[in-house]
């Protein structure tokens, strides 16, 4: 899938969630709202997803409002959205929520390399590789991450209270 863009990212409070529901119902545009049933969401982010100037749909994300804002990555015909303790896997055509992946730790960021069969997700206390369909490829539960660095296909992690780790991002093996 080429030329996919998110043309608008709006951040507001959770009252924005109700407004989004009403506006998408009136406009008859596809909308997916994620995180609305999570414990105490405080922020609400809206992603307008379009391709070649045509709106595919709208993603509303209710998040905790602490730390990292929701992030997304596009993989072929899907989009992955990381937020709170979850990854939402969204099919772009038709615009539908395919799967929610529970990370068991607070989402920080996606790490994507051309040779990876999915994406690696760095969390507060875990590193999780997720396939494009939302399956867990490998997982390491770790101490609280202090710093991280990607060098080639290796991820280097440091922690406050334990020795540093090096993980091969493709295989998931600890080196």
How many beta carbons lie within 10 A of that of residue 77, not counting itself?
12
- CA 62/CA 54 separation, integer angstroms: 25
What's residue 72's pLDDT? Answer: 92
Q: Residue 22 in 3-state DSSP?
A: helix
What's residue 1's pLDDT? Answer: 40
What's residue 35's pLDDT? Answer: 83
What's residue 47's pLDDT? Answer: 83
What's residue 14's pLDDT? Answer: 52
φ and ψ of 113, to 5 deg = -125, 150
Name the token pair of 16: 């924005």
What's residue 67's pLDDT? Answer: 65
What's residue 25's pLDDT? Answer: 55
**pLDDT < 50 regions, the chain:** 1-2, 5-9, 26
What's residue 63's pLDDT? Answer: 83
pTM of the model: 0.84
């Amino acid at each position: 899938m080429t030329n996919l863009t998110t043309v608008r990212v709006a951040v507001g409070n959770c009252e924005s969630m109700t407004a989004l529901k009403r506006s998408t119902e009136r406009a008859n545009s596809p909308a997916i709202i994620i995180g609305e049933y999570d414990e105490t969401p405080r922020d609400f982010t809206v992603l307008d997803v379009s391709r070649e100037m045509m709106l595919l749909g709208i993603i509303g994300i209710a998040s905790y409002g602490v730390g990292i804002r929701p992030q997304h990555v596009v993989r072929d015909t899907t989009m992955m959205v990381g937020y709170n303790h979850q990854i939402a896997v969204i099919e772009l055509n038709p615009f539908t929520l395919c799967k929610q992946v529970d990370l068991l730790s607070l989402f920080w960021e996606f790490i994507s390399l051309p040779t990876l069969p999915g994406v690696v997700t760095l969390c507060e206390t875990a590193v999780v590789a997720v396939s494009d369909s939302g399956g867990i490829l490998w997982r390491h539960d770790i101490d609280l991450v202090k710093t991280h660095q990607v060098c080639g296909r290796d991820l280097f992690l440091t922690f406050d209270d334990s020795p540093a780790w090096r993980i091969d991002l493709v295989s998931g093996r600890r080196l």
